[in-house]
Amino acid sequence: MAPFKLELVNTLRAECNEKRLEMLDGVLADNMYPVHEWPAHCIRLFLGKHLRFAGIPVINEDKSYEFTRFDLICFLLGNNMMPETLVEWLLAQEGYIRTYGSAMDVAEILEKHGKGVLDGKMIWNVELKEHIPLTTPSMAYDLLGRRVRVAELNGDGTAKLDVNGEQVYTWVYSPPGSYYWKRAVAVLKARAMNLPRD
């Protein structure tokens, strides 16, 4: 890891509000590769104050291009960020998504990803350290919820047992996988209604 990336993350962290810092150190740290291992342009756009449309110029040995908001959203989804977590991040800090159009643009990207429309777009995979095609997880196509048997626990985390000493289970409803994409889009569109028009 390049030391400048850690320095970049630390510099940008200083501008993050409490909600963002909680997410960085909590859910994101538990579910994704550390931000300081991401490409620098991803770090800048992700931790920046504003998720601008135009993006950030990137110069590689073989080509130069602009890393846009669309590219960042695809990068995050392709590196295991769930849609609801992504929307929570987008809305965690005031001003990151500034306008109705910006929020609707991201909602459209999430909708397309959930339908598999973006499959094949090349993204940087942090774990493999190479470009791979974006693929929509199969759970996004799941339209049927199911009942799931879950073990009950006591307040101290130990297994709850019945009078015969047998583990106690309960049935809970698990929504279909597609629910998570639809819910994320709905939350973002609802927030868009309160943002200034472009």
pLDDT of residue 116: 94
> Going by C-beta distance under 8 Å and a sequence separation of 6 or more, which residues neighbour residue 159?
151, 152, 153, 167, 168
Q: What is the pLDDT of residue 136?
A: 93
pLDDT of residue 144: 81
Question: Tell me, what's the pLDDT at 23?
Answer: 93
Q: What is the pLDDT along the chain (198 residues), one digit of tens a residue?
A: 466 788 888 889 888 999 999 999 998 888 889 999 999 999 999 999 999 888 788 877 677 888 999 999 999 999 999 999 999 999 999 999 999 999 999 999 999 999 999 999 999 999 999 999 999 998 888 888 778 888 898 889 888 999 999 999 888 877 788 889 999 999 999 999 999 997
- pLDDT for the residue 2: 65
List the one residue out of 140, 150, 153 whose CA is nearest residue 182. 140
Whether 192 and 87 have beta carbons less than 8 Å apart is answered as no
Type of residue found at 90 = L
pLDDT score of 112: 96
Q: What CA–CA distance (Å, rounded) separates 32 from 126?
A: 9
pTM: 0.83
- Residue 61 is predicted with a pLDDT of 67
